[in-house]
Structure 1
Amino acid sequence: MRTLTLYYATNRNHLGQRWTPNSYGQDFSADRPNNLRFGRVTVEVSANKVTDYLNDKVNSRSGDGENLAGYIEKKLRKKNLISAFVEAEKPTNATNSPLASTTAFNELKKQMEMKRDLVVFIHGFNVNWFEAVASAMALELMLNRRSQDNDKLKDTSVFLFSWPSNGAMMRNKAYLSDRNDARDSSVAVARGFLKLRDFLMTLRPKHNDPTQNECGQQLHLLCHSMGNYVLQHALVSLDKLNNQKHFPQLFQHIFMCAPDVDDNVFEDKRPMVNLYRLARHVTVYYNNGDLAMYISDYTKGNTDRLGHNGTARPLQLHNKVSQVNCSDIVGGVTEHSYYLWATVNEDIRQSIDDLAYDDSARKRKYKSAQVWRLT
């Protein structure tokens, strides 16, 4: 057997006891939508089954993270342990006590001192708590496939932010409800970013305490589907909370996977025009055959989706932003969570490892105007 551990932040409502919940629901925390709970969840899985999924072939490529996530979800529903980090009885601000976030960040710092980097993961539409946790755990396992066979590579940790996506398909109502919840979660995400910034500031080398030095590893952000819509609105909230100062450059990479946002979102006066300020690199992964993007386009009244055809005007992109067309290797209209398997996941890990975009080890070819094509 193998024990999987995941640290999380959520603004979902707890089910069961507040500090040892059974799970989290599809509504906001009773305190308010921008209140964040931090904690840890563990689950026992079969080490052999995990290895089998990591070695399974998907379109002739090794690694089936989607079915791995499905297996982990089943295990979570049977038995899991959730420990929410306790908050003070009388919080010192209007959201939550800094104790819970500081506890979480200190735990993550310990991991980063042993591992390589940390990926913050924001899931998408129609995802319940168990699915969110399972996807995050599967993402971590998939990203670390290469490090298991290469002693020079350290593992990468994943930290989950879970917002109250419905997790139940009710035709258009579920989608529209999730868009509202994604938008209303933006303040929670923005506050989380600022809490992270403030924590990182305490780790500057000016401190004499050797236990409070920077670990030297990198932070990354991966948003899937409507998780990018959460990020879009978080930028607006971050601008207000940060008193319209420059965004803190928190991340080395931001990975936008199958982003369910407008295809002109990076253009002047559009919501994500300044996203590049949060990171050194921004990468958009899209699939021309993504049925979820088609549905969002034509049945929900949205404009063309970034996750379907990439940006509307790629020549206007900031030089920090690049695009990867996954259509050739993904195939089929049902593939929406392709960040979890095979070549796409490996490409993400290669970016985390600072491999040059044009390195021969990558399975991508340069097309034009900062657009690459996975092969």
Structure 2
Amino acid sequence: MLFITNRVLQEGPTSSTVDGNLVLPRSVNFNLRNNQAEQSVYFCRRNNKDDYTEIGGTAFLSELKNSNAQEILIYVHGFANLPEPAIFPRAEELQRLFDQKAPGYMVVVPVIWPCDSDDSQLKDYFDDQMAADQSGMAFARMFQKFLDWRDINSTIDNPCIKRINILAHSMGNRVLRATFSSIVQYFLPQGMPLMFRNIFMAAPDIVNEALEPGQEGQFIPTAARNVVVYYASDDLAMRASKVANLGNRIASRRLGHTGPEHMDKVSKNVYALDCDDFNTVYDPPTGHGYFASDRNGNPGILFDHMWRCIDIGRVPMSPSNARSAILRREWLE
């Protein structure tokens, strides 16, 4: 499995060169005791559990372009997730579910940012908020590398026609917000281009006004054809997040708790899906990690909705002209 990270590596930055060229591939390992947000990004492959190779950006992007997959899903994980106990198994689960729908159609690429591994959940939460914000610059550089590579390697004679989607879970949406803000600030001052087919925001741990013009997440809707927010009012992690953020004098409710505060103020390509009917059934008791399979390992309702968005390029809603609705299985079939 290919992956991208800005976590600190035990081997340090990619610095060894021969005649000015980086010596890659190289075997690497995560330094899980260090949760500093590196400003370097590493393009890697997971060969097996605890077995990773840095292959470099050019080889990474060329491998994606030359793969048989027709679409790419960038998976940005949430708070307090470490690579092996959580991130890679969930990415493998997503890959398995996509392969059930259409073998080889989608390739899942996890983006791993530096979550903390302390014993204190509250300390982890605030440490991870800082790491998420600080990761924005590194992943902005990652997307700029992609745009530069695309300009050279995707030509009329040899185009790269794969569509790119993003699934950001929980605090991963804070990483996404920071990344797009950094792209606009440092690389594309005229605003985010339309780079993605779909951006799926599952239980997003950012304020519920974030997608409105002038707010910190304002560039997310401009970056994709469809932006789909999945939320649940009984998501206990979102309730805890609201309480924790009161300590930072942030009293707003979370986007993953209520959906957008004002649907009339967000772009028309933003859709809000209420997942109250199944979130705690899939992920008891917190009801936070409800975006993949059900209790039996089958594609869940949210996953099926996400797949339909990818398959048809539009967001299934009931009625069809709605922009907010209660997500139900029956109108996906």
TM band (smaller chain): 0.7 to 0.9
Distance 1:201 1:82 in 2: 29
Could you tell me which residue of structure 2 aligns to residue 338 of structure 1?
290
SS at match of 2:111: strand
Distance 1:290 1:267 in 2: 23
Identical counterparts, % of pairs: 25
**Amino acid of the residue matched to residue 373 of structure 1?**
I
Residues 373 and 366 of structure 1: CA distance in aligned 2, closer, same or farther (over 3 Å): farther
Spell out the pairing of 1:142-153 with structure 2 (5 A cutoff): 142-148=97-103
Could you tell me which residue of structure 2 aligns to residue 82 of structure 1?
52
Of the candidates 25, 33, 40, which is equivalent to residue 35 of structure 1? 40
Q: Which has the higher contact order (CA 8 A, sep 6+)?
A: 1
Spell out the pairing of 1:254-265 with structure 2 (5 A cutoff): 254-265=199-210
Residues 204 and 372 of structure 1: CA distance in aligned 2, closer, same or farther (over 3 Å): same
SS at match of 1:185: helix
SS at match of 2:141: helix
Displacement after TM superposition at 1:350 (Å)? 1.2
The answer to whether the 8 Å contact 1:291/1:334 transfers is: yes
Residues 330 and 368 of structure 1: CA distance in aligned 2, closer, same or farther (over 3 Å): farther
Distance 1:282 1:276 in 2: 6
Of the candidates 290, 308, 319, which is equivalent to residue 257 of structure 2? 308
SS at match of 1:198: helix
Displacement after TM superposition at 1:201 (Å)? 2.0
Of the candidates 263, 269, 273, which is equivalent to residue 324 of structure 1? 273
Could you tell me which residue of structure 1 aligns to residue 28 of structure 2?
21
Could you tell me which residue of structure 2 aligns to residue 135 of structure 1?
90
**Amino acid of the residue matched to residue 39 of structure 2?**
N
Could you tell me which residue of structure 1 aligns to residue 64 of structure 2?
108
Q: Normalising by structure 2, what TM-score?
A: 0.84
Structure 2, gaps ≥5 residues long: 14-25, 294-299, 329-333
The answer to whether the 8 Å contact 2:78/2:169 transfers is: yes
Distance 1:23 1:296 in 2: 27
Spell out the pairing of 1:57-72 with structure 2 (5 A cutoff): none
Could you tell me which residue of structure 2 aligns to residue 372 of structure 1?
325
Residues 138 and 26 of structure 1: CA distance in aligned 2, closer, same or farther (over 3 Å): farther
**Amino acid of the residue matched to residue 118 of structure 1?**
I
Distance 2:39 2:191 in 1: 22
Distance 1:263 1:109 in 2: 36
Residues 171 and 81 of structure 1: CA distance in aligned 2, closer, same or farther (over 3 Å): closer
Displacement after TM superposition at 1:357 (Å)? 3.2
Structure 1, gaps ≥5 residues long: 1-5, 44-75, 86-99, 149-153, 359-363
Of the candidates 98, 103, 123, which is equivalent to residue 77 of structure 2? 123
Distance 2:12 2:189 in 1: 39
Of the candidates 138, 147, 153, which is equivalent to residue 203 of structure 1? 153
**Amino acid of the residue matched to residue 69 of structure 2?**
K
The answer to whether the 8 Å contact 2:197/2:313 transfers is: no
Q: Normalising by structure 1, what TM-score?
A: 0.75
Spell out the pairing of 1:176-195 with structure 2 (5 A cutoff): 176-195=126-145
**Amino acid of the residue matched to residue 140 of structure 1?**
Q
Displacement after TM superposition at 1:102 (Å)? 1.4
Displacement after TM superposition at 1:26 (Å)? 4.9
SS at match of 1:179: helix
